[in-house]
Amino acid sequence: QVQLVESGGGLVQPGGSLRLSCTASGINFSVGAMGWYRQAPGSERDLVATITSGGMTNYADSVKGRFTISRDNPKNMVYLQMNSLKPEDTAVYYCYRDYRGVEHWGKGILVTVSS
């Protein structure tokens, strides 16, 4: 059974940093793309960042230069380092995996950016 479990969310002040982690189990983690999506209240779920099995990354324009996605294949983990956080980054963040069109999602974790 595939499981993706997010951790590291919480409340942070504007300008602060958080690192989200996603632990995967039940899959061959070294293959397939991993990523992070987010969904703000009243909004659709949007792409934040993705990383391929080869380490190629892609970011939403709104987070370029502030967020960094990375993966550690031996540990079955993917990370999202978020710096210079803004109130508009407040959302539930979801870990995502896509392998040959088969998608899996975590349950999500809340990130709140507020003073």
Q: What is the pLDDT of residues 35-59, one digit of tens each?
A: 999 999 999 999 999 999 999 999 9
Q: What is the pLDDT of residue 30?
A: 80
85-96 tens-digit pLDDT = 999 999 999 999
Mean pLDDT to the nearest integer, 51-80: 96
Q: What is the pLDDT of residue 28?
A: 82
Q: Residue 26 pLDDT > 90, yes or no?
A: no
The strand pair at 57-59 and 10-12 is best described as unpaired
Q: What is the pLDDT of residue 89?
A: 98
Which is nearest to 26 in space by CA: 109, 113, 104?
A: 104
For residues 32 and 52, what is the distance between their CA atoms, to the nearest angstrom?
6
Instruction: Tell me if residue 25 falls in helix, strand or coil.
Output: strand
Q: Both tokens of residue 34?
A: 């991993």
For residues 45 and 47, what is the distance between their CA atoms, to the nearest angstrom?
7
Other Cβ atoms less than 10 A from the Cβ of 29: the count is 21
Q: Residue 114 pLDDT > 90, yes or no?
A: yes
The strand pair at 10-12 and 18-25 is best described as unpaired
Average pLDDT along the chain: 96
Mean pLDDT to the nearest integer, 82-109: 96
